[in-house]
Structure 1
Amino acid sequence: MNHDLLLANIAKHIQLDEDEKQRFCAYLQVKKVKKKQHLLLEGGVNRFAMFVVSGCLRSYHLDENGFQYIQQFAPEGWWIGDMYSLITQEPGHLYIDALTDAELLLISKVNLEKLYKEIPKFNFYFRILAERSLVSYQERSMENLRLSAKERYGKFCLRYPTLTDLLSQKQIAAYIGVTPEFLSKMLHA
């Protein structure tokens, strides 16, 4: 598999020589998944950070009534995982599944730790990802508290411009925290 998309993503933050690129790529596993295939179930331990080469994944939580709360969509070029579970190696709270057929590059927690020691600049790269993830999570939490559903939908469109035609209204509604019926009425008002 071609690792160019991931290496281009990394190159935005750190510079790697050819040897470092090869050593990094040796730690990666290629995984192809089919639409609706789960990569992680609630209560499972997340053992891999996942980079989406093609397709789209999502992470979500189900409440006791079966209502989905979508935490993240991960289109091409994005990372996804249950960070709580990946870091602690404890059972997680999220489901991760494929919304389309997808190709992924995985790096295990074990290999990530080895990579940090072998090529310390990866500490910086993954710290940047973690910081951006934290900022995004904080912004989204504040948006959910202070913005109307219409404003949250607008933020969704800005955050995921390539997904508005790919996703169902049900999935978008679960992300912005409204029912599909409410979203439909809001969009057609």
Structure 2
Amino acid sequence: MAYKKLFTYIGQHISLTEEDKEQIKSSTRIKKVRKHQFVAEQGEVCRYESFVVEGCLRCYHTDEEGKEHVVQFAIEDWWIADLQSFLSQTPANFSVDALEPSVLIQFEHEDLQALYRKIPKLERFFRLIIQKAFIASQNRVVASYSQDAGKRYIEFRNRYPTIEQRVPQYMIASYLGITPEFLSKIRSRFGED
């Protein structure tokens, strides 16, 4: 079931043979993660790029004062990692942990490099998803500079309608770059609190 979801997702971008699928299965691992369990930790090298089969995770940075800054949520059929750390194999700027019990398919850095050599079209697939992540990141930066918090909240709800039901409000506030109290005021304007 887990690999079926992964192969369906990959199949939206490239076609895989049965041999390709077997190579991927033998070069990855299925990881069950408890709620609050770390997948990657700030300061450590991020060893895995993870595909979310089930569950919900977040990627965040903890500043010197201990304040958490959420930069990404990931639910089913999404990918999560400290991408810079994973790609460069240098210490991570972000931590990734599970907000719900989750099931992941994980690609270890060296095994992924070997898969690129065995299945060259897989490198194209990962380039496409990295491009997509980069575009989303740039759009988020532009929105943070050019939109007020109310518009950012509406856009978050429209773009990710199921996440709000699964994630605590203070984490959504962190993602939006506002305080939980201010998010509560915005939500009350929409009759949500």
Instruction: Give yes or no for TM over 0.5.
Output: yes
Residues of 1 paired with 2:123 and 2:167: CA distance? 34
List 4+ stretches of structure 1 deviating above 6 A: none
Match of 1:13 in 2: 13
CA distance in 2, matches of 1:13, 1:163: 24
Deviation at 1:68, TM superposition (A): 1.5
Identical residues among aligned pairs (%): 39
Within-5 A mapping of 1:95-174: 95-174=95-174
Which residue does 2:45 correspond to in 1? 45
- CA distance in 1 between counterparts of 2:185 and 2:33 reads 34
- Partner Cα distance (2:2, 2:98) in 1: 20
Residue matched to 1:23: 23
Aligned-residue offset at 1:80? 0.4
Amino acid at match of 1:183: L
- TM-score for the superposition, normalised by structure 2: 0.95
Separation of aligned partners in 1, 2:24 and 2:158 = 32
CA distance in 2 between counterparts of 1:176 and 1:80 reads 18
Could you list the runs of 5+ residues in structure 2 that have no partner in the other structure? none
Please state how far the C-alpha of 1:139 moved relative to its aligned partner.
0.2
2: CA distance between counterparts of 1:95 and 1:159?
A: 23
Q: Report how many residues are paired.
A: 189
Q: Deviations over 1:44-97 (max 9, x none)?
A: 101111111000011001122222211100101111001111111111100100
Letter in 1 for 2:12: K
Q: Give 2:179's aligned amino acid.
A: T
Shift of 1:5: 0.8
TM-superposed deviation, 1:158:
2.4
Q: Using the alignment, how far apart are the partners of 1:117 and 1:7 within structure 2?
A: 19
Q: Deviations over 1:20-59 (max 9, x none)?
A: 1111111110111111111111101011111110000110
The 10-residue stretch of structure 1 (6-15 or 20-29) with the greater mean CA deviation from structure 2 = 20-29
Q: 2-side partners of 1:181 and 1:5: how far apart?
A: 38
Q: Report the TM-score, using the length of structure 1 for normalisation.
A: 0.97
1:2 CA displacement: 3.1
CA contact 2:2–2:53 (8 Å) conserved in 1: no
Equivalent residue letter for 1:171: M
Residue in 1 aligned with 2:71?
71
Structure 1: segments with no counterpart, 5+ residues = none
Query: For residues 32 and 164 of structure 2, what CA distance do their matches in structure 1 show?
Result: 24
RMSD: 1.0
